[in-house]
Amino acid sequence: MGGSERAEFSGKIMTKTEKADFILHELERLYPETPIPLDHTDGFTLLIAVLLSAQCTDERVNKVTPALFKKAATPQKMSKLTIAEIEEIIRPCGLAPRKAKAIFELSHILLEKHQGDVPASFEELEELPGVGHKTASVVMAQHFNVPAFPVDTHIHRLAQRWRLTSGKNVETTEKDLKKLFPKEKWNKLHLQIIFYGREYCKAHSCDGLTCPICSVVNNDRVKPILTKK
């Protein structure tokens, strides 16, 4: 969205619908392509990578998974490793004991209940050890191309700053964003927001007033915002 479109909202308090439209156009301009940040080759390796990304950066996960997937890139091979072997490899990702146990157990469950395949439903994914709603949403969106809106800390923070949600928790944020944005945009948009948060609207470099989107959608705000966690 160019200067003329930005000027349209100068001095005007924007509705949430106007904000959503502006954000969609701006993010599409900035990020027309949205490569999946976590390296993977199929549904299983994506599932494991997303599980490992909890409280860990994608960059670090991508450094760890090559060694893990070299040993075991399928549920069959992963189930033959011990929890201790998995834990040793994934230790740099943090929470290694819990994550290793979850990876070991879910690999067995995939073999026993799903013929070794990653299930294509939110309910079945969320039944797997270590797989919460956000992880399931990422797999459904990025592997199965089912509309989902995974909310991570970047999206939660930006939705607060843009005043698109009450921001009390990620569940509320997800519901509010789904109401504002077209369903067919969710899968790409959640990645675009993550990319934008990392580049322009970081936790400590924007106070809700200064980045390219905040400066437009918050044109009536005069005081910096304290982001709720």
Catalytic annotation, residues: 134, 152
* CA quadruple 1, 141, 38, 73: dihedral, nearest 10: -160
Closest residue by Cα to residue 84 from 68, 72, 95, 100: 100
Closest residue by Cα to residue 37 from 62, 10, 7, 56: 62
Joined together, the tokens standing for residue 3 give 């200067």
Joined together, the tokens standing for residue 209 give 């007033």
Residues near 219 by Cβ (< 8 Å), separated by ≥ 6?
9, 10, 11, 12, 13, 14
